[in-house]
Amino acid sequence: MTKKLPEWVVDEPVEKTAHTQQNECYIHSEPLGVVLIISYWNFPFTITIQPMVGAIAAGNAVVIKPSELSENTLNLLATIIPQYLDKDLYLVIEGGIPETTEVLKDRFDHILYTGSTNIGKIIMTAAAKHLTPVTLELVGGKSPCYVDKDCDLDIACRKFMNYGQTCITPDYIRCDPSIQNQIAEKLKKSLKEFYGDDAKKSRDYGRIINSRHFQRVMGLMEGQRVAYGGTGDMAALYIAPAILTDVDPQSQVMQKEIFGPIMSFVCVRSLEEAIQFINQCEKPLALYVFSQNDKAFGGSLGLSNSSLHGTVAWDATMASTASRPSPTVTPA
């Protein structure tokens, strides 16, 4: 960003018309004013600091409201920001729903929010009272992963990060019934390679954010065929990585984004059936395709062109987080 700043602050020349030939025409950018950043708990430091850096670089004052659920990060930000930045220009709001509700009554020049769609609607309603522009990064849809019979299963089965608490994490696998068990076995092998026989003892394996989400995620597995893991310890907010097979598309686990360490298998008999199912669901933020057949990915009848989605990745997952800008889509 520091390398780009000199370029960003320079006035941008504008093409002259017949009426402005004798004039000097350019676009001059100015700071918006005061920017409010309300961040989520799953990447609490990154999704707070990144937009804050951009807002400061553009010359704005900033108010941040980190999630109260990520308590340690909130305490850290509340300590270091007033320690190193001007307290009159950069403010940290601590607290939960009452404090957020109160701060939204004030007028800001721009609001950025990362989090759930329901809260996004509340923020947008509050902003509308002052005609404040809003940038929303909302979780939405269930990001599908289509695994073709001809793909390299060893590659497809080594994708796992942040305990599944990521908005573009693969939420369920669509594959032919003939390879479901094979994929499940390779997933088990990969999980053991990553975290050992007991993931609870691994320093690399995370925890659910709080007891409410723990109960929600555990409840999603009720009545399902658990092929691996799925045990929980509420006191430790620990849920073992779970693999669910032969999942009914109408079951509870398929109705909402999981945001937890569960991988569900929903079998399909053809690529066309997979596309039809994806298009009947809420538009996902991401789509992942594992196949050696480029027609399954691209082409007029491939997943990337025939289904509704945000980002799409071939033989990879989470790739959009490393790209700039990150391509996303607003859920319907």
- Could you tell me the CA-to-CA distances from 106 to 64, 222, 322 in Å, in that order? 13, 44, 34
Annotated active-site residue in 137, 151, 175, 257: 137
Of 18, 27, 32, 84, whose CA–CA distance to 62 is shortest? Answer: 32
Please say if 185 is a catalytic residue. no
Q: Are 55 and 35 in contact (CB under 8 A)?
A: yes
> Burial of 125 by CB count in 10 Å (0-12 exposed, 13-18 middle, 19+ buried)?
exposed
Query: Exposed e or buried b for every residue in 65-84, given b needs 16+ CB within 10 A?
Result: bbbebbeebbeebbeebeee
CA 152: distance to chain centroid? 26
Cα 85 to Cα 255: distance, rounded to the nearest angstrom: 44
- Could you tell me the CA-to-CA distances from 60 to 31, 36, 99, 105 in Å, in that order? 5, 10, 22, 20
| Identity of the amino acid at 59 | G
Please say if 167 is a catalytic residue. yes
Question: Strands, E, within 117-202: which ranges?
Answer: 134-138, 144-147, 172-175
Q: Are 91 and 62 in contact (CB under 8 A)?
A: yes
Cα 274 to Cα 315: distance, rounded to the nearest angstrom: 17
Cα 319 to Cα 156: distance, rounded to the nearest angstrom: 14
Annotated active-site residue in 151, 157, 167, 281: 167
The residues carrying an active-site annotation are 137, 167
